[in-house]
Chains A and B, each alone.
Chain A
Amino acid sequence: EAGVTQFPSHSVIEKGQTVTLRCDPISGHDNLYWYRRVMGKEIKFLLHFVKESKQDESGMPNNRFLAERTGGTYSTLKVQPAELEDSGVYFCASSLSGSPYNEQFFGPGTRLTVL
């Protein structure tokens, strides 16, 4: 069974540019999450989708970040325009529906560097 995949693995952009990150969850997982780890600190929650609906977006830092999950399959996270402080590793995770105790399965992350 394929795990959570993320693309690209690395992205280097200039301040002010736009970047779009993609996440493909494990097939059949209705729950999809985005997290971010900045500068070796803790991993912080960004948002949670249930199918195509945003269930919780309390962790989104500001309106420069836009997440979508059209059709309830893969998700994209767009940063526009990117700022220096957006640099970090963006993780996507997915989990089965039915119980909040189901563990989340994480992808390898996208390392974003904003210069």
Chain B
Amino acid sequence: AQSVAQPEDQVNVAEGNPLTVKCTYSVSGNPYLFWYVQYPNRGLQFLLKYITGDNLVKGSYGFEAEFNKSQTSFHLKKPSALVSDSALYFCAVRDGGTYKYIFGTGTRLKVLA
């Protein structure tokens, strides 16, 4: 069965430091991976996706993610964190031949001033 794991419930990082939010996946076949962010009282906003091609995917708000097939990971990264990046981040994988997403449990990112 397809699954996604976000091993950290919360990540704290100082403003200006690089940040990483971890995601690992388990799929049969090619993985199609997504990152979303949820700010307070808002819906999930799409950040980026990996379908095929370059392992480093660039997305919105300066975020990028690195696809690593051998480690089955798709970690979200940003070179320099902002306080405004504080939010809840979800990793998702498309479930095989369907359109539905399987989500991780979410990681709360806290950027400290």
Which positions in A face B, CB cutoff 8 Å? 3-4, 6, 31, 33, 35, 40-45, 48, 55-56, 58-59, 91, 93, 95, 100-101, 103-109
**A107 with B102: in contact, given A43-B90, A101-B49 (CB under 8 Å)?**
no
Other CB < 8 Å A-B pairs besides A48-B98, A101-B51, 7 of them? A40-B106, A42-B102, A42-B106, A43-B44, A59-B100, A100-B32, A101-B49
Q: Count CB-based A-B contacts (< 8 Å).
A: 65
Which B residues are CB-close (under 8 A) to A108?
41-43
Which B residues are CB-close (under 8 A) to A6?
43
* Alpha-carbon separation in the docked complex, A6 to B90 (Å): 20
Which positions in B face A, CB cutoff 8 Å? 4, 32, 34, 36, 41-46, 49, 51, 90, 92, 94-95, 98-106
Cβ-defined contact, A33 with B46, below 8 A: no
Which A residues are CB-close (under 8 A) to B90?
43
Which B residues are CB-close (under 8 A) to A58?
100
Cβ-defined contact, B106 with A103, below 8 A: no
Cβ-defined contact, A100 with B103, below 8 A: no
**A91 with B43: in contact, given A41-B105, A100-B94, A101-B51 (CB under 8 Å)?**
yes
